[in-house]
Structure 1
Amino acid sequence: IEILVPYFKAGLENNEFCMWITSEPLQVEEAKAALKKAVINPDDYIKKGQIEILDYSEWYTRAGKFDADEVLQGWVDKEKLALEKGLDGLRLTGNTFWLEPKDWKDFYDYEAMVDRVIGQYHMLAICTYSLELCGINDVLDVVSNHQFAILRRAGEWEIIVSAGRKRSIDALKKAEQNFHSSLDESPLGIRIVSAEGELLYANQAILDIYGYSSLEELAAVPTKQRYTPESYAEHQKRKEKRKRGEFVPSNYEISIVRKDGEVRHLNVFRREVIWNGETQFQVLHEDITERKRAEEALRESREKYKELVDFLPQTVFEIDETGNFVFANRHGLETSGNTQQDIDKGLNALQLFIPEDRNRVRENMRRILAGERLGGTEYTAMRKDGSTFPALVYSVPITRGGKPAGLRGLVIDITERERAEEALRESEERYRTLFDSSLDGIAFHNMEGRILDANQAYLDMLGYTMGEIKKLIYLQLTPKKWYKTEARIVEDEITERGYSDEYEKEYIRKDGTVFPVSLRRWLIRDEKGKPVGIWGITRDITEHKQLQDEKAEWERKAHVASRLASIGQMAAGVAHEINNPLTAVIGYARLLQTKKDIPGDIRQDIDIIHEEAQRVANIVRKLLAFARQQKPERKLVNINDTISTTLDLRAYSLKTNNIEVTTQLDPDLPMTLADASQLQQVFLNIILNAETEMKLAHGKGKFLVKTAQVNNNIRISFEDNGPGIAEENLDRIFEPFFTTREVGQGTGLGLSLCHGIVAEHGGRIYAQSKLGKGATFVVELPIIL
């Protein structure tokens, strides 16, 4: 108590928050009573929360057992709360009488933890122990965990310093030694002087600066003799000001005279220090003679720089970070109409640009000062008289001490260049007008094939926007089958002689459709002759190709019609010539068949003769029908009804042959003028052919019939899943007598008749097929009302 009561009394008087943790044999009430004897109105401190006196069970073991982390955090929280209340820190104590032997290890670790962190907080702690309850090891633990241990033996108090504290004291002594050593060995000259100017200490650097060998030798030289006359006068002024209590800068420059007579320039810094327990002045001396010489050389260099830039035919300038001019060469002043007096008065760079450009100038100044490189920037500059001219400005930051201090740059009058650019721009506009108005597609790509430019005709041709096409490679617009052709043309023509002949290929539109084009291409080289890209002029020749195809189709039709006419005339003659003897053959065969006395084997031969003669007669009838080419008897016909009637005629046969028939007939199909019986003959022939082919190929099949209006035509399509038609036969199947079947299984006249009937109606018939994937026959008839 005789230690703790004064301890807490001092804490309360020093505006600290106090916490007294008690245990047997000292109770809380006993602690309060002892405090009341020493502190006036201790209850007031308790009421306002500046002191708490608690039993150990309310602090150390409030959770039922001792938890070192929880207790330490509790102290930290109390210290934080004290500071928030405006108190200066936490003063605490706690005894260890409550500890049992099993708890000593944990408590020892706790105290070591407190000792490591207590220096981080506004916290002061005294821990009390009973020697009667502590063994020798416990005492050693206590001493090692605390900076000081106070023991009472034989009625006397004794302080024991911990090993850690001793190390700290030794470290402090060593630090002091290091401090003195740093002064002695510092490259800066250091003096310690009294307020009256008495020299108390000087390191070796001071002696070296002044050229003396000892402190005594230096001190013996009169102050006036150590300065140049000008510097001594300044020294006296500073001295008088200090006597009068006036402000004197702590940092200034002096010029001294060394022992050998050489003048040196020093930068001096003076400040108060505690020296041997008293306030004295530390004066640092930095020899800046070489820096002064460098500054003089720099000044001379700047003069030369100014003389040089004054001869330049461009404006050279320097401005500070606010934009005010620091320097402008003669050309700059003459060009702007300003004078050096204008600069001296604070001429700002913004005044040299038209108002519309000033925000941009200000923003670009900020960006350059921030370290961004802008390169040349164009503005409209304004002279003092208000006249303007186009200018190109280059600027770089001026850096001092690692920080931007302004801008240095060059201004070029680009009036002549602007005129040349305007002429070039007009030329380019004329070119661009031709480029954009061309009906042919024009495009340019680099040597890697990346498309860089294209006119609207080219974009419309392919269905892309400019942004989309610039993401493409030229070959992405070309079907793969043309790659080798393109490579050959580039290598053999474009690269070799600089251009290609006109050639044809195909392009792929954005929607995936392929169309034919005709194009010619030219190689573009840079000023060094290096190839940089290829121009191409492209024309969509879809219509041209269609006209060619239509012409070929008409020529084919004319050829077929001519052949059909010739064959028809021949067929009529042949039919008449065959009919006469054929009639006799059939007549006599029938007569012989009626006789009863003919042997069986001969009768069988007669039956064959009659059967084959009938087949020949059927062929003759077809030849005559083919040869007649009579005009159709036209009237308004419902094509859907004609198809349905024809399918009904074959319904039984189709069903028995396992052929599934599906129809997709357009209910809004218009009527047209046609010969219904002739069209039925066409449809029936196509159905019979499909039925036969599917039966022969699979013994079953699927047959789809569709009608639709396509522009001014009615389209009827018959689609089967039979064996299909070889590509080389697609153009021949409508020729008379052409058949793919075995001898005796077809005459080759059916589709020829169909072709003639459809052609007579002004329509067309054609087939689409791939071998092994079925066939589709299409009949297109014009809508005639």
Structure 2
Amino acid sequence: MNLQSLIVHLISSRKRQLYLIGIITVLSQLITVVMNIANSLIWWGRIDPDLLLIGCIDSFIATSILAPLFIYLIKKSFNLDEMNHQLQKEANDRGLLEEALKKSEDKYRTLIETTDTGFVIIDQDGRVQDANPEYVRLSGHAALSEIMGRSVIEWTADYEKEKNAAAVKACFDKGYIRNFEIDYVDAKGAVTPIELNATCLEVGGKTHTLTICRDISERRKIENELQNLASIVRHSSDLINLAAGDGKMIFLNEAGCEMVGIEQEMVNEHNIMDIVPDHLIGLVKTELLPALRRGAAWEGELQYKNLKTGSIVDVYATTFIITNPVSKAALCYANVSRNITDRKRADMQLKEAEHKFRTIADLTYDWENWVGADGKLIWVSPSVLRVTGYSVSECMSMPDFPFPMIHPDYGVRTLEKMRSADKQPQNDLEFRIIRKDGAVRWVAASTNPVFTEEGQSAGHRTSIRDVTDRKLSEDAVRRSEEKYRTILESIDEGYFEQNLAGDFIFLSDSMYKIYGYPRQELMGMNYKLYTDKESGKKCLQVYRKILETGKPDKVVDFDIIRKDATRRHIESSVSLQKDSAGNPIAFRGVVRDVTDRRKADKEKRDLEERLQRAEKMEALGTLAGGVAHDLNNVLGVIVGYAELLLAEVNPVSPVTPRLTKIMSGSEKAAAIVQDLLTLARRGVPGRKVLNLNRIIYDYQHSPELEKQSSYHSGVRIKLDLDAGLLNISGSAVHLGKVIANLAANAFEAMPLGGTLTIKTANQYLDKPLYGYDAVREGDYVVLSVTDTGEGIAPADLQRIFEPFYTKKVMGRSGTGLGLAVVWGTMKDHHGYIELESKPGQGSSFTLYFPSSLEEMEHKEITYIVEDYQGKGETILVVDDVKEQREIASKIL
């Protein structure tokens, strides 16, 4: 027997008992449906199909659970044979019953497929076993096949996955889950909030969950809006209050609690009338409450009493009734009140200020008037009589005020500007008026727009002052300024004014020429920007001195740097400018460009120095020329006899060292005489095409260098010679002496050892060298002699090329003529000298020789010894000095 046959038999043979059980079952299901409908109306205000569907499913589950018990009871209560007979009899009706069941199944299938609620069956692993189209849509997919067998966690938002997994587990543990909210995310990232209700079912011996899903996007939106609205109400700066019909407070926001001095937890203990001051209770009862009872809103100014402090708060209140949207029945009173205490106080202060203003305006020295938006005069101060000669009454009756009293040269333009001030910011202008007595006066007018509280134009107010005396003074000052400007523009000196920080605030035209900057750049420039550190320091010292003493002073011998980076030498006379109270406000002064004068002075000094040097050289040459011959004769005798004696005496004789010293001293004296003759004669005798590298090479292998090296064994010699060095034209003897003198000075400068570097190179000169105003442009051969010795003191740099000036060690070398010979030789070779030296950092002499395009002669001269051997000839020795003749004869 199956369940269907059993049911048919029970219905036919035990109708009364079954009817009773059926009635009880139907009533229980009806009660369930009614409860679901009631819950839907209470919570949602409408009949929710989803909730009804859940109730039906619950009823189906309950029936499934009770069915076995019901069958068991039937088996115990009835004779089964009789039942089988009866059921067999009614088997013919089975087809009809199956057809009815199929129709019922199709009806429910259609309902599930077309409902806007999602249905899904999942297994214990959370994988989808079946689902209706709505759930497929909620999961973010297009077809059921896309989600079959997949876990619902896959389309759950990342931040909800753990929560969803825990909910699935809880559902299988408890057998159900209700009102569970979670977010689904589709492939495009769109989020859909879902509410789930799930129940566990046994299907095929396995537990599954039937889950009903509903899209709550709209509800979530409404909830968010409600939360926002609640937040606005809670944090509003206005008092927001709800009260029952008897005035008992239902709700009062935070601002309201603070305004009336009620704690939030005590709101429901107070009546709205508790905060109304006694003097306004009558107004509330006679105006406010009757208006509300008529269903109208009431708004206006009220006062509330702060229950904590007792202070009175001015408010602007709006009161109305909240009604049921369906029945229109009154639910409660609502009140929104804004604190206007500060505004009321401000209004009071404004009224007081207006009263004071009118009082002051009536007594002010200036002429004040107010013209309305229609162009008509509203008010004018009594001062108009003093300025214009017209009384207040005459002005008030004057058509198109104040046009009739404005000078014709300014009338239309001035009136247009005044009227344009109705909508523009402050408008200042000056014009002339004609007084009632015909006198012409200058006035200054300041016009401001006037607006109402609503922002509408209310015309303009004008303050007018008689400035005739000021205009006359300005004209006098302007004429004076033009006069002095003409004077300033006609002189070469520049006039300036600087503020106390050293910024230019006024400049004459000559200043732009002197400083080399355009007007817009130089104006406002600080003195530090156009001076170097040393000159800026001089200016600062003078400015401080002037500020301290208040007396004028001069800034002399300072340089400015023009915009093109050239330097100009400046002198300036500066004085202090003070205001009427005697306070210093600025510096002013006159600037003179003394660059050309300083250049001329320098050239004059150079010429004087050259003249002195030339005179000194001339005197030295005259002296040398006068005594050189006699000195050479004397030295020749001494040297000659010394040589003869050395040749005759035994080398081990005690006389030999003495004769050697005589020879050495005589040779030094001869060298001095030769240097004097070199300085005296000048010029380059026997000029030839030479190569400096060869001369340096000869010096490198000379006995003189060996001698210097023996005295200064710690000095290392370094040669850096350009293999492609150009030729020069000059005297090899003189140039060799130049190299020897420079090297000797370098050796003497390094008593503790060091490096002597001799370098040659080719260089093209196209700009002056330091110490020379002009240099011939072209190719030069450069010789530099550099040491790492003690250096030269700044005081000695100006004198090292003077004859007989020396700092060398007494007894070794040095007559003070070495660098003088170098200087003279460079002049004779049309070259230049540069010297760089600092104490403790060594010295570097750089010599520039004009190059020569001529080639050196490489002709070798062969000397035949036989040509110089005598053949019995007689030699005649002629000399005006007897001793010289004797020595020559003995040598021969």
TM range (shorter): 0.5 to 0.7
The aligned counterpart of 2:744 is: 692
Between the aligned partners of 1:483 and 1:447, the Cα distance in structure 2 is 15
Residues 45 and 775 of structure 1: CA distance in aligned 2, closer, same or farther (over 3 Å): same
Pairing partner for 2:719 from 660, 677, 680:
660
Q: Which residue does 1:559 correspond to in 2?
A: 612
One-letter code aligned to 1:3:
V
Deviation at 1:614, TM superposition (A): 4.2
Kindly state the Cα deviation for residue 617 of structure 1 after the two structures are TM-superposed. 3.6
Q: Name 1:165's counterpart in structure 2.
A: none
Shift of 1:523: 0.7
Q: CA deviation at 1:400?
A: 3.4
Q: How does 1:19-98 map to 2 (within 5 A)?
A: 19-20=50-51, 22=54, 24-26=57-59, 52=117, 54=119, 66=167, 71-72=180-181
**Which residue is 1:745 aligned to?**
813
Contact 2:429 2:446 in 1 (8 A): yes
Question: Is 1:701 paired with 2:756?
Answer: yes
**Higher alpha-carbon deviation: 547-556 or 436-445:** 436-445
Q: How many angstroms does 1:538 deviate by?
A: 2.2
Deviation at 1:774, TM superposition (A): 1.3
| Distance in 1 (alpha carbons) for counterparts of 2:515 and 2:432 | 47
SS at match of 1:327: strand
Map of 1:329 onto structure 2 = 380
Q: Contact (CA 8 Å) 1:713, 1:782: kept in 2 or not?
A: no
Q: For 1:585, give the aligned amino acid.
A: I
Per-residue Cα deviation, 1:186-234 (whole angstroms, up to 9, x for no partner): 45999xxxxxxxxxxxx5457999xxxxx9xxx9xxxxxxxxxxxxxxx
1:29 and 1:459, CA in 2 relative to 1: closer, same or farther beyond 3 A? farther
Residue 664 of structure 1 and its aligned partner are, at CA, apart by 11
Matched, 1:571 2:599: no
Structure 2, unaligned runs of 5 or more? 1-31, 64-99, 123-130, 139-150, 154-163, 169-176, 203-210, 227-242, 252-266, 302-315, 336-343, 402-409, 435-441, 710-715, 768-773, 853-892
Aligned AA (2:462) = L
Q: How big is the shift at 1:739?
A: 3.1
- Equivalent position SS for 1:735: coil
1:727 and 1:770 in contact (8 A); partners too: yes
Select the residue among 354, 368, 378 that pairs with 2:429. Answer: 378
Q: Residue 730 of structure 1 contacts residue 768 of structure 1 at CA under 8 Å; is this kept in 2?
A: no
Q: Deviations over 1:64-102 (max 9, x none)?
A: 753799943579x9xxx9xx9xxxxx9999687889xxx
Q: Distance in 2 between matches of 1:405 and 1:456?
A: 49
Q: Is the 8 A contact 2:248 2:270 kept in 1?
A: no
Cα distance in 2 between the residues matched to 1:774 and 1:687: 15
Distance 1:42 1:341 in 2: 93
Give, in whole Å, the separation in 1 of the partners of 2:662 and 2:321: 148
The alpha carbon displacement at 1:397 in A equals: 5.1
Distance change in 2, residues 1:557/1:183 (3 Å): same
Give matches, 1:578-727, under 5 Å.
578-595=631-648, 600-627=653-680, 629=681, 643=692, 646-647=695-696, 649-650=698-699, 652=701, 658-662=717-721, 676-678=729-731, 680-695=732-747, 697=750, 698=753, 700-705=755-760, 707=763, 708-710=765-767, 712-713=775-776, 718-722=783-787, 723=789, 724-727=791-794
Partners of 1:507 and 1:517 within 8 A in 2: yes
Q: 2:492 aligns with which of 420, 430, 439?
A: 439
**How many Å separate the matches in 2 of 1:631 and 1:754?**
13
In 2: Cα distance, 1:621 partner to 1:206 partner: 132
1:749 maps to a residue whose letter is L
Q: Which residue of 2 aligns with 1:137?
A: none
Residue number among 397, 406, 412 corresponding to 2:464 in the alignment: 412
Q: Which amino acid letter does the alignment assign opposite residue 641 of structure 2?
A: Y
Task: Please report how far the alpha carbon of residue 687 of structure 1 lies from its aligned counterpart in structure 2 after TM superposition.
Answer: 1.9
Instruction: Determine if contact 1:459/1:465 at 8 Å carries over to the other structure.
Output: yes
Q: Is the 8 A contact 1:705 1:717 kept in 2?
A: yes
Secondary structure (helix, strand or coil) at the match of 2:806 reads coil
Q: Does the CA contact (< 8 Å) of 1:737 and 1:748 recur in 2?
A: yes
Matched residues in 1 for 2:546 and 2:754: separation?
58
d(CA) in 1 for partners of 2:395 and 2:201? 94
Per-residue deviation, 1:170: 13
Count of matched residue positions in the alignment of Structure 1 and Structure 2: 602
Q: Distance in 2 between matches of 1:532 and 1:644?
A: 68
What residue number does 1:531 align with?
584
TM-score (normalised: structure 1): 0.57
Q: Note the C-alpha offset of 1:357.
A: 11
Equivalent residues of 2:682, 2:828 under 8 A apart: no
Q: 1:361/1:3 Cα in 2 relative to 1: closer, same or farther (>3 Å)?
A: farther
C-alpha distance 171-759 of structure 1, shift in aligned 2 (>3 A): farther
Q: CA deviation at 1:747?
A: 3.4
Contact in 2 for aligned 1:392/1:414 (Cα 8 Å): no
Secondary structure at 1:72 match in 2:
strand
Q: Does 1:735 align with 2:802?
A: yes
Q: Contact 2:577/2:586 (CA < 8 Å) preserved in 1?
A: yes
CA gap of 1:716–1:465, structure 2 versus 1, over 3 A, is farther
Decide whether the 8 Å contact of 1:716 with 1:780 is kept in 2. yes
SS of the residue aligned with 1:600?
coil
1:182 and 2:291 are equivalent in the alignment: no
Q: TM (normalized to structure 2)?
A: 0.51
The higher radius of gyration belongs to 2
Sort the Cα spacing of 1:328 and 1:24 in 2 relative to 1 into closer, same or farther, 3 A: same
Distance 1:492 1:762, change over 3 A: same
Q: What are the Cα deviations for residues 20-41 of structure 1, in whole angstroms up to 9, with x where unaligned?
A: 35275335999xx9xx99xxx9
CA contact (8 A) 2:792 2:843 kept: yes
- Aligned 8 A contact 2:620 2:676 in 1: no
1:90-144 residue CA offsets vs partner (Å, 9 max, x unmatched): 9999687889xxxxxxx9xxxxx99x99983799xxxxxxxxxxxxxxxxxxxxx
Which of 91, 111, 120 pairs up with 2:223?
A: 120
CA gap 1:546/1:666 in 2 versus in 1, 3 angstroms: farther
Structure 2 partner of 1:288: none
Deviation at 1:531, TM superposition (A): 0.5
Give the 3-state SS of the residue equivalent to 2:552 in structure 1: coil
The alpha carbon displacement at 1:719 in A equals 2.9
Q: Secondary structure at the match of 1:685?
A: helix
Match of 1:774 in 2: 843
Contact 1:626 1:753 in 2 (8 A): yes
Contact kept in structure 1, 2:297 and 2:320, CA below 8 Å: no
Asked if the contact 1:764–1:781 (Cα under 8 Å) also holds between the matched residues in 2, the reply is no
Question: Post-superposition shift, 1:519?
Answer: 1.0
CA 1:776–1:456: 2 relative to 1, 3 Å: farther
2:494–2:590 contact (8 Å) kept in structure 1: yes
More divergent stretch after superposition (653-662 vs 353-362):
353-362
Structure 2: distance between partners of 1:169 and 1:46: 46
Amino acid corresponding to residue 25 of structure 1 in structure 2: D
Separation of aligned partners in 1, 2:650 and 2:285: 167
Aligned partner of residue 570 in structure 2, secondary structure: strand
Matched residues in 1 for 2:273 and 2:651: separation? 156
Mapping for residues 256-267 of structure 1, pairs under 5 Å: none
Query: Could you tell me how far 1:562 is from its partner in structure 2?
Result: 1.5
Structure 1 position 568, deviation (Å):
1.9
Please name the residue that 2:158 is paired with: none
Q: Shift of residue 766 of structure 1? A: 6.5
Question: 1:489 offset after TM fit, Å?
Answer: 3.9
Which amino acid in structure 1 is aligned with residue 813 of structure 2?
Q
* Aligned-pair CA distance for 1:782: 13
Q: Distance in 1 between matches of 2:418 and 2:377?
A: 21
CA RMSD of aligned residues (A): 6.7
